[in-house]
Amino acid sequence: MLPTLLQIPPTAYISKMNLLPHLSSKKIILASKSPRRQQLLRGLELVFEVRTKNTDESFPPELSGQDIATYLAKAKADAFQSEINENEIYITADTIVWINDHVLNKPESREEAVQMLKNLSNNRHIVYTGVAITSIAQQIIFFDSTEVYFTQLSEEEIICYIDQYKPYDKAGAYGVQELIGYIGIERINGSYYNVMGLPTHKLYDALKAFR
């Protein structure tokens, strides 16, 4: 097992703590394969179910930055449109890495992963996460952005990281909560959890307002 920082609250607490009592009769569904998002939602002490579906992750080429993230969060919700039941609330999200006015997707090869980390090295980029909260009656869409500043990474550090952590499921070829985030990120400006995959404070606020 690779080290992971997030502490998952013991299950005993989940049923006691309820800062969102108006949602207690609702079934919350996280429609995401990302284990990071599942951890983050557990960190909010919500009881939820995971349902996933393969969705097309393409987007209109004229979109940029935050609009790509919110477009894809909504597209992921749309994929469940015909299945949403009365008491269900779906949470969908998309995280993108935005650098020099273009998006870094998930790397498709080792070479592409190396190239992405070379681009991020000694550079600033922005992570946007778009989120959609969707029920039969309501949909809230929002995003958060975080600036991330990488130090100068050596080729050895890049290769060590890629071969050990295999970040092929991660936009921009890195996980902030993995080795490269420990040694290579000197600072962020914004929400750390947004970089991991969910802006938890904004999600909590949106759920407070969701009826």
Which sequence positions are flagged as catalytic? 94
# binding residues, its own copies (CB under 8 A): 54
94 touching its own copies, by CB under 8 A: no
For 65-103, what is the HEC assignment? Answer: CHHHHHHHHHHHHHCCHHHCCCCEEEEEEEEEEEECCEE
> Least CB distance from residue 46 to its own copies, whole Å?
10
200 touching its own copies, by CB under 8 A: yes
209 touching its own copies, by CB under 8 A: no
Q: Specify the residue for token string 């921009």.
A: 172
155 touching its own copies, by CB under 8 A: yes
From the list 88, 159, 168, 206, which residue makes contact with its own copies (rule: CB under 8 A)? 159
> Least CB distance from residue 206 to its own copies, whole Å?
12
211 touching its own copies, by CB under 8 A: no
* CA 25/CA 23 separation, integer angstroms: 6
Closer to its own copies by Cβ: residue 87 or 182: 182
* CA 58/CA 23 separation, integer angstroms: 33
Residues 127 to 146 in contact with its own copies, rule: CB under 8 A: 146
- What are the beta bridge partners of residue 144? 129
Q: Are 88 and 51 in contact (CB under 8 A)?
A: no
125 touching its own copies, by CB under 8 A: no
13 touching its own copies, by CB under 8 A: yes
Q: Are 59 and 66 in contact (CB under 8 A)?
A: no
Q: How many CB atoms lie within 10 A of CB 107?
A: 23
201 touching its own copies, by CB under 8 A: yes
State the number of CA atoms in the 13 A half-sphere of 110 facing the CB.
Answer: 9
Closer to its own copies by Cβ: residue 14 or 79: 14
Dihedral over Cα of 21, 26, 29, 35: its sign: positive
47 touching its own copies, by CB under 8 A: no
Footprint of its own copies on this chain (CB under 8 A)?
A: 2-3, 5-14, 16-17, 19, 39-40, 42-45, 110-111, 114, 146, 151, 155-157, 159-160, 163-164, 176-179, 182-193, 196, 200-201, 204-205
